[in-house]
Chains A and B, each alone.
Chain A
Amino acid sequence: MTCYETLFVVKPTLTDEETATQIAKIKEIVANNGGELLATNDMGMRKLAYQVEKNNRGYYTVLFYKAEGTLIQELERNLKINEDVIKFLTIKYVKQKELAQFNKLVEAANEKAEPVVETAPVAEETTPVAESTEA
């Protein structure tokens, strides 16, 4: 299992509900392919630094997750097909220093979210660690 971070930008023309369903869809892909979502950072609607497909704004979301490498192919394939996603970027965290920062980012993202949401990912985080030590 490797730590990954995926940032994607959803079109600004969608309604709030549609944006939420798009984000849920992408989270589902991560969950269905054996990925383990650690945190979500909702950066919200932002102005883009340059026009992308004639859009001046975009809805930014960042997902932090642990997964096998094969998930990335599947996820990026889906992001490419999806016409409502205008930008995406996946980053892999491998080195010790990077991992330390990754954990910090996950914590920061969880703190930003509601406290109810915060407890759930932490519980998920602890269980697989125990599994891996047993195996």
Chain B
Amino acid sequence: MAERRKFKKRFCKYCEQKVDFIDYKDLASLKFSLSERFKIMPRRLTGNCKRHQELVTVAIKRARQTALIPYIVDRKNVVENPFENVR
């Protein structure tokens, strides 16, 4: 069965680093789980484990509330440089 696996086995990045808590102000660590348009990346793509995905989700939603990360990026209200703060 193992031979049939199409994709590379993914590991939870946060488990490897033994992260217990994700700070919503630390945008560099959140960026890993965000898409280009600041959507939360699904677990099947990032390989995060369920526990860490839940932590990440809460952190991202908090960051959105405090205007650190945009809710959406679209053509109507263009953010000049959305990654300025994140990088």
Contacts and interface: CB of A to CB of B under 8 A. Distances in A.
Interface of A: 7, 9, 43, 46-52, 58, 60, 62, 87, 89, 91, 97-98, 100-101, 105
B interface residue count range (under 10 / 10 to 19 / 20 to 34 / 35 or more): 10 to 19
Interface string B24-49: 11000000000000000000000000
Interface in B62-87: 62, 64-71, 77, 79, 82, 84-85
6 contacts: A7-B25, A50-B70, A51-B77, A87-B67, A89-B65, A100-B21
Given A89-B62, A91-B62, A49 B67 contact: yes
Contacts of A9: 66-67
Contacts of B66: 7, 9, 60, 87, 89
Given A91-B62, A101-B20, A48 B25 contact: no
Interface string B1-39: 000000000000000000011011100000000000000
Contact of B23 (A43, A49, A87, A101): A101
Interface of B: 20-21, 23-25, 62, 64-71, 77, 79, 82, 84-85
Summarize A's interface: helix, strand, loop or mixed: strand
